Amino acid sequence: MSKFIRYEETPHTERRDRQNLKRMFPFVWEYKGRVLLALASLVGAKLATVGVPFVLKDIVDTLDVQLEEKLLFLPLGLLLAYGALRLVGNLFNELRDALFARVRYHAMRRVSMRVLKHLHQLSLSYHLERKTGGISRDLDRGTGSISTILNYLIFNIIPTIAEFTLVAVILFSKYRIEFAIAIFVTVVIYIAFTLWVTEWRMHFRHEMNAMDSAANSQSIDSLINYETVKYFTNEQHELKRYDETLKKWEEAAVKSQTSMSLLNFGQGAIISIGVTVIMIFAGQGVVAGQLTLGDLVLVNALMLQLFMPLGFLGIVYRQLKYSLADMDLMFKLLDKKSDVVDVDNAKPLVVTEGHVVFDKVSFSYQAERKILHDVSFEIPPGKKVAVVGPSGAGKSTLSRLLFRFYDVSSGRILIDGQNTQQVTQKSLRQAIGIVPQDTVLFNESILYNIQYANPSATKNDVIAAAKTAYIHDFIESLPQGYDTVVGERGLKLSGGEKQRVAIARVVLKNPRILVFDEATSSLDSHSEQAILKALQEVAQRHTVLVIAHRLSTIVDADKIIVLESGRIVESGSHAELIEAKGLYQKL
């Protein structure tokens, strides 16, 4: 439901985090010149920022001496240097951002590409099991996490560490050791306190976010079911449920906010105490004549400057944790292996005549339930074989195996003598065309959808294919013709129209081997006639596997196979099967 709940379900160790960061590194390192320049700018910016208090010290000291000697003049050089340092610090900061922008967005682009490519490589079984929405959310978050992590590293964590080191070194070399120790102790306490409180507070945030999305889905669900709510006059019930969730959200939100105040106050208190202690040291030094007034100002300014970026530590820590979890999910996705892979040195399939053989094929989607049992048949080149049988018999499974969306459990599928498991998936799928049971179209123009079979085809090729599929006249009758956009999944077209688009596609692809999977199942008899005519034309001179439950599609088949519960129970020509008075005749 909510992303915050998922984090607790997917624990990831610090070791994995480190591995993941290492895996991210090559994406960032593609622009190593820019990375190094950005880091150099970062150091430049920090040197300038840390330099500012020093100039300030000199200004104070000069003015202080003059004050004693009652001989005042403006230390213009120092004042200008002060301004210049601030300017340079700013400049380097912006330079760092500008240089790093390319690195960051390029890394995001490369990672997105890698993930999508991987998702396309994963087998159908993976995609059937997962919701596409969930996958795309992981993808989004995964690339987002790279951006966030880089952001915080480059703009917050590394600069703060650099500044802290610089300040510590300066204080250590120039002043009594107490200063360095006091700063160090303050920073350590500050960090420990912040992380501790943040960790504790995160729980309220999770709760708040979980309740927020729960309330959201409740309200949406009640509106989606508007009519049902009215039928049962359950408006009060819906409101009560919604309000109960909102109440929990309110509690969590209030706790989250008040604990934030606690965090802020604690941080402030630690800084105040630290700075006070250091100022006491510095004050003592001034009184004892070991330090100047400028030193006091310097130490104060350094401290306050140092603590400024630490103010975001809580947020940074929280976001980093989420981002690391997101990144972990993404890399886990990338580690997912496909069930169907090309064998080493797989050769492309060479189709000579289009001879298809199923040889004792057994198959199960899940180990416990066998779908196909020792199925053997052949489709001689240029012939048409029909498979009929009740729904759920395993007919569509045959076509999925032919396309090698799954690997057979035992047995072989041969095309022109080559085992389909030994050839490249790409060449195999290029050799077969299918008019599937349900055609799903891209939400683009009809032209685009037909052309999808062969993006280099011309519009004339497309029109010719559409004519063969008996859909050209229909397309021309639409106000926008071939440019008509078909709606999500092709919903603006009827089932028969979609199916004819699918036929036009196959015509354009023109492979040797064709599969028609119940291509006329959902049609009225008029559309069916049109499609049958189209199919017959397309099928000429092709090796065809027809899956059907209506006789009209298959009476002209060279051979008919009756499949029941994954077994071939009868086969022969239409006349032979009628003669045999078996299951076929009943169908």
Ligand X SMILES: Nc1ncnc2c1ncn2[C@@H]1O[C@H](COP(=O)(O)OP(=O)(O)O)[C@@H](O)[C@H]1O
Name the site residues for Mg ion (rule: CB under 5 A).
396
Q: Interface with ligand X includes 391 (CB under 6 A)?
A: yes
User: Cβ 583 to Mg ion, closest distance in Å?
Assistant: 17
Tokens 């996490």 appear where? Answer: 145
Which CB sits closer to ligand X, 475 or 535? 535
Is the CB of residue 107 less than 8 Å from the CB of residue 27? Answer: yes
CB–CB of 29/347 below 8 Å?
no
Using the rule CB under 6 A, is 384 a contact of ligand X? no
Give me the DSSP letters along 292-352: -HHHHHHHHHHHHHHHHHHTTHHHHHHHHHHHHHHHHHHHHHHHPPPSS-PPTTPBPP--S
Contact with ligand X (CB under 6 A) among 72, 128, 287, 575:
128
To Mg ion, the closest distance from the beta carbon of 140 in angstroms equals: 34
Side-by-side strand order, sheet with 372-379: 372-379, 356-363, 410-415, 418-419
Choose from Mg ion, ligand X, none: what does 393 bind? Cβ within 5-8 Å by kind: ligand X
Size of the site for ligand X (CB under 6 A): 11
Q: How far apart are CA 299 and CA 282, in angstroms?
A: 8
538 contacts: CB under 8 Å, gap ≥ 6: 468, 469, 503, 506, 507, 514
Q: Residue 513 Cβ, how far from ligand X at the closest point, in Å?
A: 18
Nearer to ligand X, 30 or 339 (CB): 339
Nearer to ligand X, 134 or 392 (CB): 392
Tell me how far, at minimum, the Cβ of 504 lies from Mg ion, in Å.
Answer: 22
Those residues whose C-beta lies under 8 Å from the C-beta of residue 59, and which sit 6 or more positions away, are: 75, 78, 79, 82, 294
**Does 548 contact ligand X by CB under 6 A?**
no
Of 391 and 460, which CB lies nearer to ligand X in the complex structure? Answer: 391
Contact assessment for residue 495 and residue 437, using Cβ atoms and an 8 Å cutoff: no
> Which string of b and e fits 334-357 if b means at least 16 CB within 10 Å?
eeeeeebebeeebeebebeebbbb
Among 89, 159, 394, 433, interactor with ligand X by CB under 6 A:
394
Does 392 engage in binding with ligand X (CB under 6 A)? yes
CB of 341 to Mg ion, least distance (A): 26
Residue 374: CB minimum distance to ligand X, A: 16
> Choosing among Mg ion, ligand X, none, which partner's interface includes residue 394 (Cβ < 5 to 8 Å by kind)?
ligand X
Picked from ligand X, Mg ion, none, the partner binding residue 468 (CB below 5 to 8 A depending on kind) is none
Q: Contact letters (x/-) for ligand X, 395-434, by CB under 6 A?
A: xxx-------------------------------------
Q: Does residue 233 belong to the site contacting ligand X (CB under 6 A)?
A: no
Extract the tokens encoding 86: 């601030």
Q: Is residue 385 a contact point for ligand X (CB under 6 A)?
A: no
Helix (H, G, I), strand (E, B) or coil at 539: helix
131 binds ligand X (CB under 6 A): no
418-419 and 410-415 beta bridge pairing: antiparallel
Query: In 3D, which of 380, 554, 519 has the Cα closest to residue 439?
Result: 519
Select from 164, 365, 448, 452 the one that contacts ligand X (CB under 6 A).
365
Q: Which is nearer to ligand X, 368 or 473 (CB)?
A: 368
> Does residue number 126 form part of the binding site for ligand X (CB under 6 A)?
no
- CB neighbourhood size of 156 (10 A): 18
Judged by the rule CB under 6 A, the positions of this chain that interact with ligand X are 128, 365-366, 371, 391-397
